[in-house]
Structure 1
Amino acid sequence: MTDLAIPQRSGNRAAFLGNLLLFLSLALLALNLRNLLPVDTWIETLVGFDPANLSQLMARDVLMPRFVMSLLCGGALGLAGLVFQQVLRNPLAEPGTLGVFGGAKCALAIAILWAPGALALGWDVVAFGGGMIATLVVLLLASRQGFSPLSVILAGLILSLCLNALGSMLMLVHFEALSDLYNWEAGSLVQNNWRGVQELLPRLGFVLVATVLMIRPLTLLDLEAGNARSVGLSLATVRTLAIVIAVVASGFVAGTVGVIGFIGLAGPAIARHAGARRFRDRLWAGPLVSAGLLAFTDQGLVLVSGGMEIPAGAVTAVVGAPLLIWLMRTIRSSQRMPQSSGSTAARQSRDDLTVFWIVVTLAALAVAIAVALAVGRLPQGWHIALGDEFGDLTPWRLPRVTAALASGGMLAIAGMLMQRMTGNGLASPEMLGISSGAAIILLLVTFLLPPLDRITMMGLSSLGAGLVLVMVLWLSRRSGFSPEHLLLTGVALSTVLGSTLTFLLFIGDVRVLRVLNWLSGSTYSVTATDATAICLLAAVSLVLVPFLARWLAILPLGAATSTSLGLSLGRSRLILLLATAVLTGTTTLIVGPLSFVGLMAPHMARLLGVRRPIAQTYVAATIGALLMVLADWIGRTVAFPWQIPAGLIATMLGGAYFVALSFRR
């Protein structure tokens, strides 16, 4: 179990902080009103305004309902986050980290495409249904590990990535039909009248009443399970009802204004750090801080935007990422992933088994390559290309297959290097945000610089990956690279990428469609030159792996042991960092930042019983290549004539793999 190390203080400080944020947001509202109307006309505008006066109309029916909506949404998300944290005893639980928003997004997309009648019930009802299903899946997966904080957040992260991948698939195939969903995903608080407030207020009032009625049982959850049962508390019933309340609150908000991330995490966390130790204190202070924080952020955006609409959801995600990293540094790590890579001599003695699996995986890869090159779909159905037809299709299919193969192998090698370097089985370019760091650099280059050649782009992408990797490891050094710290740093960085992309989609820049397709992990635009370059880099990385054998065997044993064995930690880690950055940056440029290949392939190699560092790296690289080749072929054929990017397919396969692995454990 984890908990926050907080000094004993009075809960009044937290309430004072919430009131201060409300006062500051009111001050910003006054400044925005003054920009529209003279101060002496404010009362007239509120009591009996002239509809023909545009400034009065904007103040009363746009600015004022927007302010009230920000208070309602912020308070509701703060309440939802507080209840989630109390039930799960996890200070990092909130609607975003538990997959509620991902489930809501997919539910809305499916309803728009195939069940438009469901939208008659309201977007908030559909969003609640999707969020509830996603939350139940997360809790079901985490129950296998006793709802430990790491298992809950990991399950939520994996499910969110899978749901977002599914949502992106639907958006790419049905872009025009789902265009409204882009605006919803940005989390805009813009209002044109008081209708949204009038609809949301009674629903959130019901949530508040239900929460107040459950104050006592929720407070008793602070006790140990045995003590809570001794006073007659039904833990299962209380937790179920509380989770439903939290999902209802966040679902209503998401359905009304869209995704607003981290507000549900920020309010309760700030209140707790300000001294609200008791649940009753946090129940008042947490939503109050969240409401004030969202209102302050939104009114600040109105003040500085100069007429340009900036969605509050995207901004809160960017602001919330540093907050999550700061919170992570205050958490005492409860567990450390087994350092399976630091294996004993007995576990490294299965040479015959290793050779067997190397042969099997290489054979499977050869079959997958043959299928990807020869088998496809035509309007008439499935078709196998043979003879001259195979030769005609090879120039079109071979670059894609080669790029997918090399990218999968390089991601797997990067994942192995990171897991060995940190002794953490959760480390991978995707999970730690390294791919997202490379993607952010490429996003900035795309929008700020003229078109660049591929070699320059590869160099910039590698630079971005390297900088992010150094930052992640620096932030996690005090915890000994614990899973919680590494994982949550990656969540924060991935959130920054997602919010940046959402903002670009919101403003409607035409270049964002090309970026969206690339971020999805498509090999569609890969040329023969690109394929040759990435294939050469993959070959070089495979050749250089044996020279790293000693480092890969010793580093997982820890800094003290490595130093005692004569290993230079600084030099070895620097070289591994550079290698990981180059591998990740290059593959991100070719197939995007998505997919679980860098995490999944090393795990699968260990499950096969391959333990020696070099053999495990080669088997993982072969599995990674196999997974990406299959993902590219499936994406090319499963929705013919549309093409699903390989990165999205790989993400779905990776999510399914970890769901199965969780149930197995």
Structure 2
Amino acid sequence: MRTFVLALLPAAALALLMWLMAAHRVLPGDWPAWPFDPARMNLQQILLAFGLMPRGAIALVAGVALGLSGALLQAVLRNPVADPTTLGISGGAQLGLVIATILAPGLLEHGRWPVALTGAGLAAGLVMAIGARRAFAPVTMVIAGMMVAMTASAIATAITLARGEYLLSLVIWNGGSLVQQDWSGVRILALVLAVCGIAAALLARPLRVLSLGAAGAQGLGMNVAAVRFAAVVVAVVLAAAVSAELGLIGFVGLAAPALARTLGARTMGQVLAMAPLIGALTLSICDGVVMTLAGATGEMFPTGALTGLIGGPLLIWLLPRLRGSTPPGTEAGEGPGARLARPGRVLAGLGASIIALIVVLVWIGRIPGGWAVLDWDSFRAFLPLRLPRLVAAGAAGALLALAGAVLQRLTANPLASPEVLGVSGGASMGYAITLYLFTAPGQGVLSIGTMLGGALALGLVANYARRRDMPAERVLLAGVAVSAMAAALLSAIMATGSTQSWQVLAWLSGSSSKVGPAQAATLAGLAGVMLAAVWLARRWLQVLPLGGEVAAGVGLPLIRARLALIGLAGVATGAATVLVGPLSFVGLMAPHLARRIGLARAQDHVLGAALIGAILMIAADFGARMAGFPYELPLGLFASLLGAPWLIWLMMRMRR
């Protein structure tokens, strides 16, 4: 406890100092007197009394709420990396509010927090349902939560991009802005916190008993399901209330309990008491940094983006502390599939289907009067416009699927994909960094930067996991942490309103409308080169799923093989990400479909996955153009809407 106090006092002093510096810039002297009366105050006094003061107060209240929410979730699930962000609760609240704001504003007449609570509750229920089928294994719970959060974010982004009039405000709000205009938000959050704080105090003793384990708690006569449900409900209400008032504030609920335990908290009561205080100071310090940077540079970005940048490294740091990981080999996914005796016929059929699909989709389309089939002259006129984008979409889908198949064989885990292993996140960071390093970078420079970012991210994740001898599921979770950092970085960039932010936003939409013949040919050629490389590495891909010891025993150059396959997957993902954007789930779906139709050998599996990925992305490109005619929906995000049901279905089928 002494360590806690010694650390708490300097942190509190730092938070107060940064707030006073911001207040002094707004109003050097003559502060307003209580009670605040706008009629007797000048503009600077109003800004201080109704802007900066409630902002400082709501940072404390929201930090307490998130710290308590994270502590409850970690206690009830016995999971040191559980919090509203990693379990998808905040993402569900975000999606609910975006849908209500754009599609059903009438739902907001009684306030935002009931809508946020509904979205957060549905997301939490889905994650808990997936976790219950795996006995709430920590790694499975967090992977499920982060994937639900990524899916919710993709849907919310697609809806936001479709309504330009809400674009900038929703981008800033989704980033987690603490800007206030009055004290109403503080009052609402304080009321919710008071009620939930009483509930948490009543749950402290049952949670202490539950810390013995579900079997032990049941042996003492506890209703484990009821206690678990009550704790999750309190945590969801706290997180939803914060999301309703401030937007997406990430990872404070993860950091606060972890720091509390690091500073000496041992009992359940100590964690529940210390985590809210640490959460309040963490969010206050982050907001103070944002206000200090705003004063120095004249730019403002949401505080939630800064907490997100902190959360990724923190999650990676906590990974070695995870317990209860699923034993190797138990992630059976969909179970064994059929094995084709003559896969060549199926592969030839898939190739012919791609050609037929391209011809048909070039020939048909929508006009203001409805659907139409082009005549021969119109077909020839539209062919140079439609063919390159269809070829590029197909090549991008093939590259993503190829990367997903390689990663699933490399990690022996059916949930591995470029989106999950952080490859897409690293490619996103490479794209953003390239925009800032070069003045008006061309497509070639952006492609190289994106590919390098993807390969570097996957290399860092794999090296981190290898040095700590982590099982495959831990590798996935490290990749999810990289994706979280990338999402926070992109959120911070977009919220600045700079030229680069609009370029990032346009790229996130994943449109193929500007693809020309040269880019389409380049992507198609790269896909061919990657497939040839996979063919040369087919023996590696056949042996690696059997485990490192078996691979080394048959003479496989293990380190060189892994590095080569990591580089191949990173380059393939980076090249496709330039066109599609960072999220599509094609890399997850296509390898599974290939395996289910009986393509078992490594070379057949990867080639079949690439062909299926091409079909999926060509169909997504057509759907993105036609679903919102005459406006075009985002290509990558439209593909993610196809992939989300598949992901949820796949995880629900997994059993312990």
TM-score (norm 2): 0.92
Determine the C-alpha separation between the residues in 2 that align with 1:537 and 1:328: 35
- The answer to whether the Cα contact below 8 Å between 2:412 and 2:472 also exists between their aligned partners in 1 is no
Distance 1:123 1:469, change over 3 A: same
Determine the C-alpha separation between the residues in 2 that align with 1:277 and 1:634: 54
Equivalence for 1:315: 306
Q: Give 1:342-353 correspondences, 5 Å limit.
A: 350-352=339-341
Equivalence for 1:4: none
The yes-or-no answer on 1:193 pairing with 2:182 is: yes
Determine the C-alpha separation between the residues in 2 that align with 1:205 and 1:394: 64
**What residue identity is the alignment partner of 2:379?**
F
Which of 108, 124, 141 is the equivalent residue of 2:97?
A: 108
Equivalence for 1:24: 14
Per-residue displacement from partner, 1:113-172 (whole Å, max 9, x unpaired)? Answer: 332222121122221111111111222233222222222222222222222121111111
Mean alpha-carbon deviation: is it higher for 257-266 or for 300-309? Answer: 300-309
Determine the C-alpha separation between the residues in 2 that align with 1:62 and 1:349: 64
Equivalence for 2:545: 556
The yes-or-no answer on 1:463 pairing with 2:458 is: no
Mean alpha-carbon deviation: is it higher for 22-31 or for 171-180? Answer: 22-31
Q: Give 1:265-276 correspondences, 5 Å limit.
A: 265-276=254-265
Per-residue displacement from partner, 1:590-646 (whole Å, max 9, x unpaired)? Answer: 222211112222222222232211111111111111111111111111222221222
Which of 432, 437, 443 is the equivalent residue of 1:454?
A: 443
Which of 434, 449, 463 is the equivalent residue of 1:445?
A: 434
Equivalence for 2:329: 338
The yes-or-no answer on 1:182 pairing with 2:159 is: no
1:48 Cα deviation after fit: 8.0
- The answer to whether the Cα contact below 8 Å between 1:376 and 1:384 also exists between their aligned partners in 2 is yes
Determine the C-alpha separation between the residues in 2 that align with 1:517 and 1:36: 35
Mean alpha-carbon deviation: is it higher for 46-55 or for 393-402? Answer: 46-55
**What residue identity is the alignment partner of 1:290?**
G
**What residue identity is the alignment partner of 1:540?**
V
Which of 347, 350, 366 is the equivalent residue of 1:358?
A: 347
Equivalence for 1:498: 487
1:315 Cα deviation after fit: 0.6
**What residue identity is the alignment partner of 2:183?**
W
Distance 1:641 1:348, change over 3 A: closer
Equivalence for 2:651: 662
Determine the C-alpha separation between the residues in 2 that align with 1:185 and 1:645: 18
The yes-or-no answer on 1:588 pairing with 2:573 is: no
Equivalence for 1:601: 590
Determine the C-alpha separation between the residues in 2 that align with 1:348 and 1:247: 39
Which of 186, 198, 204 is the equivalent residue of 1:215?
A: 204
Determine the C-alpha separation between the residues in 2 that align with 1:566 and 1:155: 36
Per-residue displacement from partner, 1:410-469 (whole Å, max 9, x unpaired)? Answer: 111122222333333333222111122122222222244222332232222222222212
1:24 Cα deviation after fit: 3.0
**What residue identity is the alignment partner of 1:638?**
A
3-state SS of 1:97 partner: coil
Determine the C-alpha separation between the residues in 1 that align with 2:442 and 2:246: 40
- The answer to whether the Cα contact below 8 Å between 2:493 and 2:501 also exists between their aligned partners in 1 is yes
Determine the C-alpha separation between the residues in 2 that align with 1:548 and 1:386: 46
3-state SS of 1:121 partner: coil
The yes-or-no answer on 1:87 pairing with 2:87 is: no
Distance 1:527 1:181, change over 3 A: same
1:183 Cα deviation after fit: 2.2
Per-residue displacement from partner, 1:37-85 (whole Å, max 9, x unpaired)? Answer: 668x67x756889954555444443333222111100110011111112
Residue-pair matches, total? 648
**What residue identity is the alignment partner of 1:660?**
W
Equivalence for 1:531: 520
Determine the C-alpha separation between the residues in 2 that align with 1:19 and 1:375: 68
- The answer to whether the Cα contact below 8 Å between 2:509 and 2:637 also exists between their aligned partners in 1 is yes
**What residue identity is the alignment partner of 2:557?**
S
Per-residue displacement from partner, 1:473-532 (whole Å, max 9, x unpaired)? Answer: 111113445234322222222222222222233222355334223223221211111001
The yes-or-no answer on 1:293 pairing with 2:286 is: no
Distance 1:35 1:544, change over 3 A: closer
Which of 55, 66, 75 is the equivalent residue of 1:77?
A: 66
Sequence identity of aligned pairs in percent?
Answer: 38
Equivalence for 2:319: 328
- The answer to whether the Cα contact below 8 Å between 1:372 and 1:633 also exists between their aligned partners in 2 is yes
**What residue identity is the alignment partner of 1:323?**
L
Distance 1:441 1:350, change over 3 A: closer
- The answer to whether the Cα contact below 8 Å between 2:305 and 2:492 also exists between their aligned partners in 1 is yes
Mean alpha-carbon deviation: is it higher for 218-227 or for 396-405? Answer: 218-227
Distance 1:48 1:104, change over 3 A: closer
Q: Give 1:619-630 correspondences, 5 Å limit.
A: 619-630=608-619
Equivalence for 1:3: none
Mean alpha-carbon deviation: is it higher for 552-561 or for 628-637? Answer: 552-561
1:581 Cα deviation after fit: 2.5
Structure 2 residues without counterparts, runs of 5 or longer: none
Distance 1:271 1:467, change over 3 A: same
Determine the C-alpha separation between the residues in 1 that align with 2:299 and 2:578: 31
Equivalence for 1:637: 626
For the aligned residue pairs, the C-alpha RMSD in angstroms reads: 2.6
Distance 1:543 1:283, change over 3 A: same
Determine the C-alpha separation between the residues in 2 that align with 1:348 and 1:265: 39
**What residue identity is the alignment partner of 2:301?**
I
Mean alpha-carbon deviation: is it higher for 203-212 or for 564-573? Answer: 564-573
Equivalence for 2:128: 139
- The answer to whether the Cα contact below 8 Å between 2:138 and 2:323 also exists between their aligned partners in 1 is no
- The answer to whether the Cα contact below 8 Å between 1:479 and 1:485 also exists between their aligned partners in 2 is no
**What residue identity is the alignment partner of 1:21?**
A
Equivalence for 1:489: 478
**What residue identity is the alignment partner of 2:197?**
L
1:386 Cα deviation after fit: 4.6
1:293 Cα deviation after fit: 0.9
Distance 1:534 1:497, change over 3 A: same
Per-residue displacement from partner, 1:523-552 (whole Å, max 9, x unpaired)? Answer: 121111100111111112222322112222
Determine the C-alpha separation between the residues in 2 that align with 1:472 and 1:18: 33
Determine the C-alpha separation between the residues in 1 that align with 2:419 and 2:69: 28
Equivalence for 2:383: 394
The yes-or-no answer on 1:154 pairing with 2:143 is: yes
Determine the C-alpha separation between the residues in 2 that align with 1:585 and 1:523: 16
- The answer to whether the Cα contact below 8 Å between 1:314 and 1:499 also exists between their aligned partners in 2 is yes
Which of 540, 547, 556 is the equivalent residue of 1:567?
A: 556
Equivalence for 1:436: 425
3-state SS of 2:372 partner: strand
Mean alpha-carbon deviation: is it higher for 441-450 or for 534-543? Answer: 441-450
Distance 1:454 1:114, change over 3 A: closer
**What residue identity is the alignment partner of 2:525?**
L
1:200 Cα deviation after fit: 2.1
Distance 1:59 1:113, change over 3 A: closer
Per-residue displacement from partner, 1:209-235 (whole Å, max 9, x unpaired)? Answer: 122122222222213323323333222
3-state SS of 1:382 partner: strand
Determine the C-alpha separation between the residues in 1 that align with 2:424 and 2:119: 28
3-state SS of 1:233 partner: coil
- The answer to whether the Cα contact below 8 Å between 2:143 and 2:480 also exists between their aligned partners in 1 is no
**What residue identity is the alignment partner of 2:235?**
A
Determine the C-alpha separation between the residues in 2 that align with 1:516 and 1:29: 32
3-state SS of 2:366 partner: strand
Equivalence for 1:253: 242
